[in-house]
Amino acid sequence: MATRRRGKQTNGSKRKNDHVKNGTTANGDVTNGKLEALDPFRESGADEMLTTNQGTRINDNQNSLKAGARGPSLLEDFVLREKITHFDHERIPERVVHARGTAAHGHFRVYQPLADLTRAKFLQDPAVTTPVFVRFSTVAGSRGSSDLARDVRGFAVKFYTEEGNFDLVGNNIPVFFIQDALKFPDLIHAVKPEPHNEIPQAASAHDTFWDFTSLMPESMHMIMWVMSDRAIPRSLRMMEGFGIHTFRLVNERNEARFVKFHWKPLLGVHSVLWDEAVKISGRDPDFHRRDLWEAIASGAYPEWELGLQVIEEDQENAFDFDLLDPTKLVPEELVPVHRVGRLTLDRNPDNFFAETEQVAFHPGHVVPGIDFTDDPLLQGRLFSYTDTQLIRLGGPNFHEIPINRPVAPVHNNQRDGHMRQTLNTSRTSYEPNSLGGGCPFQAGAQMGGFVSYPERIADAKMRRRGEKFFDHFSQATLFWKSQSETEKHHIVQALRFELGKVETAAVRERMVGMLANVDRSLAEQVAEGLGLAAVPRVEPPLNRSIPADGKPESFESRRAKPARPLERSEALSMANTIKDTAKSRKVAILAADGVDATAVETMKQALTAAGAVAKVVAPHGGTLSGTRGSDITVDFSLLTVGSVLFDAVFVPGGAQSVKTLKADAMAVLFVNEAYKHCKALAGTGEGVTLLPGHNGAHGAPSSVEEREEGVVGGGDGDVPTVAAELLKALARHRAWSRETKAEHVPA
Ligand code: HEM
- Ligand 1 mutation pick, 169, 218, 260, 352, max ligand atoms within 8 A of CB: 169
22, 32, 165, 171: the catalytic one is 171
For residue 315, the 8-state DSSP code is G
State residue 48's pLDDT score. 96
What ligand 1 atom has the least distance to the C-alpha of 242?
5
The pLDDT, as a whole number, for residue 2 is 34
Q: Is the pLDDT of residue 164 over 70?
A: yes
Residue 543 is predicted with a pLDDT of 76
Distance of CA 285 from the midpoint of ligand 1 (Å):
23
d(CA 8, CA 240): 44
DSSP 627-666: GGG-EEE-SEETTT--GGG-SEEEE---HHHHHHHHT-HH
- Residue with the nearest Cα to atom 12 of ligand 1? 98
Give the model confidence (pLDDT) of 339-397 as tens digits.
999 999 999 999 999 999 999 999 999 999 999 999 999 999 999 999 999 999 999 99
Q: What is the pLDDT at residue 290? A: 98
Q: Residue 409 has what pLDDT?
A: 97
Return the sign of the alpha-carbon dihedral for residues 333, 478, 151, 586.
negative
Q: Where are the alpha helices (DSSP H) in 483-609?
A: 485-500, 505-515, 520-530, 552-555, 597-609
SS (H, E, C) 576-589: HCCCCCCCCCEEEE
CB atoms within 10 A of CB 45: 9
Note if 171 is an active site residue.
yes
Atom of ligand 1 nearest to the CA of 380: 30
Distance 237 CA to ligand 1 centre (A): 20
Res 714: pLDDT: 72
Residue 696's SS3 state is coil
Considering Cα of 543, then 546, then 547, then 549, what sign does the dihedral take?
negative
Q: Out of 60-64, 546-550, 555-559, 601-605, pick the least confident.
A: 555-559
Res. 704 pLDDT band, cuts 50 70 90:
very low
| Phi, psi torsion values for 384, nearest 5 degrees | -65, -40
Burial of residue 539 (number of CB atoms within 10 Å: 0-12, 13-18, 19+): exposed
CA distance 555 to 557: 7
Long-range contacts of 472-475 (CB under 8 A, 24+ apart): 472/217, 472/218, 472/220, 472/221, 472/327, 472/517, 472/541, 473/217, 473/220, 473/221, 473/517, 473/518, 473/561, 474/320, 474/321, 474/561, 474/562, 474/565, 475/175, 475/221, 475/321, 475/327, 475/328, 475/329
Report the nearest atom of ligand 1 relative to the CA of 154: 10
- Whether the Cβ atoms of residue 285 and residue 146 lie closer than 8 Å to each other: yes
Mutate to test the pocket of ligand 1, among 92, 94, 95, 222 (most ligand atoms within 8 A of CB): 95
- Tell me, in angstroms, the distance from the centre of ligand 1 to residue 689's CA: 51
Separation of CA 629 and ligand 1 centre (Å): 57
The confidence score (pLDDT) of residue 560 equals 61
Residue 171 CA to ligand 1 centre (angstroms): 9
Q: What are phi and psi of 654, to 5 degrees?
A: 120, 105
CA 146 to ligand 1 centroid distance, Å: 19
Among the listed ranges 45-59, 216-230, 553-567, which one has the minimum average pLDDT value?
553-567
Distance 386 CA to ligand 1 centre (A): 11
pLDDT at 5: 37
List, in order, residues 6 or more apart from 299 with CB less than 8 Å away: none
CA 160 to chain centre: 20
- Tell me, in angstroms, the distance from the centre of ligand 1 to residue 624's CA: 49
Q: Are the C-beta atoms of 131 and 34 separated by less than 8 Å? A: yes
Asked whether the beta carbons of 366 and 326 are under 8 A apart, the reply is no
**Which residues have any ligand 1 atom within 6 Å of their CB?**
95-98, 101, 135, 137, 154, 156, 169-171, 176, 181, 184, 244, 326, 359-361, 377, 380-381, 384-385, 388-389, 392
What's the CA gap between 59 and 39, in Å, rounded? Answer: 29
Task: Please return the burial class of 579, using the count of CB atoms within 10 Å of its CB with bins 0-12, 13-18 and 19+.
Answer: middle
Share of the chain above pLDDT 90, in %: 87
Q: What average pLDDT is seen over the chain?
A: 93
Task: Compute the distance from residue 385 Cα to the ligand 1 centre, in Å.
Answer: 7
Mutate which of 102, 242, 384, 391 for ligand 1? The one with the most ligand atoms within 8 Å of its CB, which is: 384
Separation of alpha carbons 666 and 449, rounded Å: 64
Atom 31 in ligand 1: residue holding the nearest Cα: 381
Ligand 1 centroid – CA 388 distance (Å): 10
- In the sheet where 648-651 sits, what is the strand order? 636-637, 613-618, 586-590, 648-651, 680-684, 711-714
Kindly report the protein residue whose alpha carbon is nearest to atom 19 of ligand 1: 97
**DSSP 8-state code for residue 78:** H
Atom nearest to 135 CA in ligand 1 = 15
Separation between Cα atoms, residue 458 and residue 516, nearest integer Å:
39
Q: Where are the alpha helices (DSSP H) in 266-372?
A: 274-283, 287-297
Q: What is the pLDDT of residues 18-41, one digit of tens each?
A: 444 566 666 677 789 999 999 999
3-state DSSP assignment of residue 266: coil
* pLDDT band with cut points at 50, 70 and 90 for residue 551: confident
Q: Three-state secondary structure along 299-310? A: CCCCEEEEEEEE
Query: In 3D, which of 227, 222, 220 has the Cα closest to residue 516?
Result: 220
Q: Which residues are CB-contacts of 695 (< 8 A; sequence separation ≥ 6)?
A: 702, 706, 707
Nearest Cα neighbor of 248 from 130, 366, 383 is: 366
Q: In testing the pocket of ligand 1, which one of 98, 176, 357 has its CB within 8 Å of the most ligand atoms?
A: 98
Give pLDDT, residue 554.
74
Residue 585 predicted with pLDDT over 90: yes
- CA of 717 from ligand 1 middle (Å) equals 53
Per annotation, catalytic residue among 32, 98, 288, 694: 98
Q: Is the dihedral of CA 440, 445, 450, 455 positive or negative?
A: positive
Region of 628 (left: φ > 0; alpha: ψ -120 to 50; beta: rest) is left
Range with lowest mean pLDDT among 113-127, 517-531, 616-630? 616-630
Nearest CA to ligand 1 atom 6: 170
Atom of ligand 1 nearest to the CA of 245: 1
> What residue's CA is closest to ligand 1, atom 23?
381
Q: Which atom of ligand 1 is nearest to the CA of 101?
A: 15
Q: How far is CA 619 from CA 593, 622, 630, 657, in A?
A: 9, 10, 18, 10
671 neighbors 681 (Cβ within 8 angstroms): yes
**Identity at 565, one-letter amino acid code:** P
Task: List % helix, strand, coil for the chain (3-state, nearest 5).
Answer: 35, 15, 50
Nearest CA to ligand 1 atom 41: 360
CA end-to-end distance (rounded Å), the chain: 58
- The pLDDT-based confidence of 678 (bands split at 50, 70, 90) is very high
pLDDT at 300 over 70: yes
Of 94, 96, 97, the one to substitute when testing ligand 1's pocket (max ligand atoms within 8 A of C-beta) is 97
Index of the ligand 1 atom closest to the CA of residue 360: 41
Answer with the residue of higher pLDDT: 638 or 29: 638
Q: Which residues contact 225 (CB under 8 A, 6 or more apart)?
A: 173, 174, 175, 231, 479
Closest atom of ligand 1 to CA, residue 137: 15
Q: In angstroms, what is the span from residue 192 Cα to ligand 1's centroid?
A: 15
d(CA 343, CA 338): 15
pLDDT, tens digit, 9 for 90 and up, residues 409-452: 999 999 999 999 999 999 999 999 999 999 999 999 999 999 99
Candidate from 138, 361, 389 with most ligand 1 atoms within 8 A of CB, to mutate: 361
Cα 633 to Cα 625: distance, rounded to the nearest angstrom: 9
Residues with Cβ < 8 Å from 367, sequence gap 6 or more?
Answer: 120, 121, 122, 161, 163, 164, 165, 166, 450
- pLDDT given for residue 702 in this prediction: 46
Among protein residues, the one with the nearest Cα to ligand 1's atom 42 is 381
* Helix (H/G/I), strand (E/B), else coil: 149: coil
Classify residue 572 by its DSSP letter: G
pLDDT of residue 550: 81
Ligand 1 atom, smallest distance to 392 CA:
40
Range 267-292 average pLDDT: 98
Q: Is 185 exposed, middle or buried (0-12, 13-18, 19+ CB in 10 A)?
A: exposed
Distance CA 282, CA 231 (A): 18
User: What is the rounded average pLDDT of the residues 573-598?
Assistant: 97
CA distance 413 to 410: 10
Q: Give the ligand 1 atom nearest the CA of 377.
A: 27
What number is the average pLDDT over the span 634-663?
97
363 CA distance to ligand 1 middle (Å): 8
**Using CA atoms, how far apart are residues 452 and 362, in angstroms rounded to an integer?**
17
Look at residue 627 in the predicted model and tell me its pLDDT.
Answer: 87
Strand, helix or coil for residue 106 = strand
pLDDT value at 3 more than 70: no
- Are 648 and 730 in contact by the 8 Å Cβ rule? The answer is yes
Q: Give nearest CA residue, ligand 1 atom 15.
A: 135
Cα–Cα distance between 706 and 270 in angstroms, integer?
A: 28
pLDDT at residue 743 tops 90:
no
